[in-house]
Amino acid sequence: MELIDILKTNHQIIFKNSQDMEDIISPINLVVTSPPYPMIEMWDELFTTLNPVIGDCLSENESMKTCDLMHEELNKVWSEIDRGLVNGGIVCINIGDATRKIGDSFQLYSNHSKIIQYFEKLGYQVLPPIIWRKQSNKPNKFMGSGMLPPNAYVTLEHEYILIFRKKGNRSFSNLERDNRQGSAYFWEERNL
C-alpha cells in the first residue's frame, strides 16, 4: 500500500436522526457537534416529537422533569458517539445553558453540567472547555427586566465548547506518528 492511499480520507453526508448512527463506520477519531439545546423554546417541538411526554410535562409546567427528559434524548446521541469513537478520540460539543420561565418559575437550566455528568458516567476524561463569548446588542441585555432590581438577572452571553477524551490518550502507528511530526508548527509559525 502506498503512502498516498493511507492519507486518503472518506467524506460522507448522512442526514438522519443521530440517535441511531448505524450507517457510520468506525473508527471515529473526532466528533464536533452543536445539538438542539434543551429548554430553549425553539426546540420544544423537536424534543416533543422524540418523546411526547416532554410536551405533556411542558404543558403541566414540570420544568425539571422536562429538562431531564430532553437530556435523556441527547444521551442517546452521546451513547451512539461513544459506540463509534476510538479510545483516545475527542468529542467537542457546543452547548449553551438556558434561562426560561415555565409556569411561575424562572430559572437557569444548566445544560453543560448535565452533559459533563453523562460523559463522566461513560468514563470520559473531561478536558478544559472553550468559553465562547457571544455578545448581545440588545438594549436590555444586562439585567432581564432591568428596571425592577428584585427581578434582575445577568443574561447569558456565552456558550460552552465542551471537550472530552475517551479512555486515555490515543496511540499511533509509526506512520501516524511520522505524519503528526511532519505537520507540527515551528515556533515562529505558531506565533504568526
- Tens digit of pLDDT for each residue in 93-140? 999 999 999 998 889 999 999 999 999 999 999 999 999 988 765 655
| Residue ranges of domains in the chain | 22-191
Query: pLDDT tens digits, residue range 138-179?
Result: 655 555 555 666 666 677 788 999 999 998 777 777 777 777
Query: pLDDT tens digits, residue range 20-79?
Result: 877 776 678 889 999 999 999 999 999 999 999 999 999 999 999 999 999 999 999 999
- Name the one residue in this structure whose C-alpha cell is 410535562: 57
C-alpha distance from residue 136 to each of 36, 54, 119, 144, 156 (Å): 20, 30, 30, 13, 9
**Taking the model in full, what pTM does it have?**
0.80
Partners of 132 in the beta sheet?
Answer: 159
Architecture of domain 22-191: 3-Layer(aba) Sandwich (3.40)
Query: Angle 52-59/63-84 helices, nearest 10 degrees?
Result: 160
